[in-house]
Structure 1
Amino acid sequence: MNRFIVAPLLLVGSILLAVSFGLTQAPVPDGTDLYNDVRGMAYMANNFAYSWAYLKQIAKEAHESGKGMEGFEMDNDGTIVQSARSLGDIIKVYEDNKELIENSKTFGEKLTSNNFNEFVEDMKDIDIEGDSLVLQRYDDMNQDEELVYSISTDEINHRIIVTFRGTENSMAFGSNWGANIDILKVTEDVPALLKGEFKSDTVSIHKGFHTYMHKESLQSGKSFYDEITRQVKNLLQNSYTKYTSVYVTGHSLGAALSTLYSYYIASDPDIPGPVKCINFASPRVGDRNFLQAVQHLEKTQRLQMIRVVNDNDVVPTVPTIGFSHVGFQIKLYSNLKANKEKDPDMFYPSKDHGIMKWMKQSLSNRVPVLYAPAVGREHAGTEYTRRLESSMTWFKSFKLDKLYIELM
């Protein structure tokens, strides 16, 4: 199906260092199963916030041409006034401006009737009435230089959902995201909650991801971590709805940022745990100390993390030496020629990160150690969603909470 996707990355490759985590499939009791959790975050990462982003861009285009667009309030300088929008609100904006949108030279092709109707169908699987999913904030004010994120709420399941956008701006392909092909790291102290809990009180984090997260917003003057967390805490403390959990998601670069953000907020005692991070196509984020810090948060029920990766997607294989994956990995397979899928594999990160093992696995999996070509279909958000839906029965046999009970 045609869905809104995140632009692919250009990255170098290696191979994932993990060992199989032996879990048997068993019937899941009534409640939210892993399929509903993962599918919901896949649609949030690839659909919900992006549809609003396209509508905002078309509204700006209409404002500049003097036409205007129903459903948007503009400041004198052409800035769109931020306001909470439910899925139903987004659908209404589209319906009220259908002709304007479909005639948009720049963005109309992304929101044609066919793919927008598919988007509505997909999202209503999650939000039947169109009023329980609410986009509280979408910040792309300075998207050419800063990270882009959204904060949404699920009024039925009492969730706050933080979504980080993937690579769609020049900063991502410029100096900071260029660090993806390096081994540059930033070393920092672990949060106070983790002091003295394992051998090291410092972790090293990929410089590009760290810079993105801690860069001061041109709009607020605060770091993006501080600004996002302030809004999350405000929703937790001051909303009519009693939100009980925080979910974090993203695809590609957005997945890396979701990993880093989840580590930070799971270490904040003011945030209810466990924080649940479910992301797609994530590169590695930190070193082995970072892995140990994340695993401590998992063991103390502060954090639960699922990384979904597609077989043959090179993005999750980088950066290479000195970086470790975190959380449960679920790998999705597809035989594109036969149009068949086999059941996913589930892994938990290995403690063996030796160089010989890395070289051996890199060669055996035919992934170039030093270079990988441009990312292809396997990295697309649409392909992740397609494989996920094809594996629905497998996913429905698990629950996220139960995975962590068995792990501990």
Structure 2
Amino acid sequence: MTQRSSWIGFVAVCDDKREIQRMGRRDIVIALRGTATCMEWAENLRAQLVPISDPTQKVECGFLSLHKTPGAYVPSLAESVVEEVKRLMEAYKGETLSITITGHSLGAALSLLVADEISSCAPQVPPIAVFSFGGPKVVVNGQDLITRVPGVFLGEGSKQQQQKKHENNGFRKVIDKIDDNNPWAYSHVGTELRVDTKMSPYLKPDADVACCHDLEAYLHLVDGYLSSNCPFRSNAKRSLVKLVHDQRSNMKQLYTHRALTLNLERDRLRVPIPSCLPSPSS
């Protein structure tokens, strides 16, 4: 834990010709980390909604501050990402591009703000997709309490009840005028994929809060996900070594040794891990 950090993520550009051909485009990936500094923890707690450039849209005050505030010698996250995206658009001018933004926890919240920022930073911005983990909200672990705040006690619940009421009456209205003036009336962005720690045969059903919010646990659950009503897939390809190392106390004892043995052996032999994407014939 430090007072300051000079970085919050990175930008990567696909240079694999086979992957570019498979996707039909060159993908730019922007990955943002979770909370790491004391200042960021303090900003996470500044939960009041404030307007952004469009006065009809509001975001959490602390997240917006982390997104927009420059340092003494460095530009803001918003400025840095826009500058880099423009540079890459020029560098690969004439190619078909796409932008994928991802982040965990604080990085999940910031990934949405970054997506909004770059979507209008230049004419003909490439298509943008956001995959966020454990934040406001695309991939959500049902046991992860972090994804339920802020707002769950002070507005979001009432809004969801209003939405259900209106939908039952045949309408799609979500926000009542009362909620427009409520600085705590949060709603979440995007399509939610809800995974569940209890679905994993490796994790204890009473895994602690830290495990439920852990990025490695999320990646493990996504790797084993088939559908909400299907069991954990038996041919999940992600190595469990890091999960066991980080969450040993939350692993079922029956599987701890087995997982370590299988994955350490594979890692030792450097067996290539196949793509998680289905083959054309499957």
Deviation, structure 1 residue 389: 1.3
The percent of aligned pairs where both chains have the same amino acid is 23
Q: Where does residue 32 of structure 1 map in the other structure? A: none
Q: 1:144 to 1:335 in 2, by over 3 A?
A: same
Q: Where does residue 272 of structure 1 map in the other structure? A: 125
Where structure 1 has 5 or more consecutive residues not aligned to the other structure, the ranges are 1-6, 8-141, 191-200, 285-306, 342-373, 398-408
- Paired with 1:240 and 1:270, the residues of 2 have a C-alpha distance of 13
The superposition leaves residues 280-300 of structure 1 with CA deviations (integer Å, 9 ceiling, x where unpaired) of: 01136xxxxxxxxxxxxxxxx
SS at match of 2:52: strand
Q: Is the 8 A contact 2:144 2:212 kept in 1?
A: yes
- Paired with 2:213 and 2:198, the residues of 1 have a C-alpha distance of 15
Q: 1:256 to 1:271 in 2, by over 3 A?
A: farther
Correspondence 1:310 to 2:164: no
2:10 pairs, out of 150, 157, 172, with: 150
SS at match of 1:248: strand
Q: 1:340 to 1:219 in 2, by over 3 A?
A: closer
- Structure 1 letter corresponding to 2:146: V
Per the normalisation by structure 2, the TM-score is 0.58
- Paired with 2:129 and 2:101, the residues of 1 have a C-alpha distance of 6
Q: Where does residue 61 of structure 2 map in the other structure? A: 207
Q: Where does residue 319 of structure 1 map in the other structure? A: 150
RMSD of aligned residue pairs (Cα, Å): 3.1
Deviation, structure 1 residue 338: 5.3
Q: 1:271 to 1:317 in 2, by over 3 A?
A: farther
Deviation, structure 1 residue 390: 1.0
- Paired with 1:243 and 1:217, the residues of 2 have a C-alpha distance of 34
Q: 1:146 to 1:211 in 2, by over 3 A?
A: farther
Q: Is the 8 A contact 2:32 2:111 kept in 1?
A: yes
Q: Where does residue 180 of structure 2 map in the other structure? A: none
Q: 4+ runs of 1 displaced by more than 3 Å?
A: 239-243, 336-341, 392-397
- Paired with 1:211 and 1:146, the residues of 2 have a C-alpha distance of 15
Per the normalisation by structure 1, the TM-score is 0.41
Deviation, structure 1 residue 246: 0.9
Deviation, structure 1 residue 219: 2.6
Q: Which has the higher contact order (CA 8 A, sep 6+)?
A: 1
- Structure 2 letter corresponding to 1:205: V
Deviation, structure 1 residue 148: 1.0
SS at match of 1:155: coil
Q: Is the 8 A contact 2:136 2:147 kept in 1?
A: yes
Q: Is the 8 A contact 2:82 2:121 kept in 1?
A: no
Q: Where does residue 128 of structure 1 map in the other structure? A: none
Q: 1:275 to 1:165 in 2, by over 3 A?
A: same
- Paired with 1:264 and 1:386, the residues of 2 have a C-alpha distance of 30
- Paired with 2:41 and 2:201, the residues of 1 have a C-alpha distance of 35
Correspondence 1:384 to 2:218: yes
- Paired with 1:227 and 1:233, the residues of 2 have a C-alpha distance of 10
- Paired with 2:200 and 2:193, the residues of 1 have a C-alpha distance of 22
Deviation, structure 1 residue 255: 0.4
- Structure 2 letter corresponding to 1:144: R
1:335 pairs, out of 193, 198, 213, with: 198
SS at match of 2:65: helix
Q: 1:337 to 1:386 in 2, by over 3 A?
A: closer
SS at match of 2:144: coil
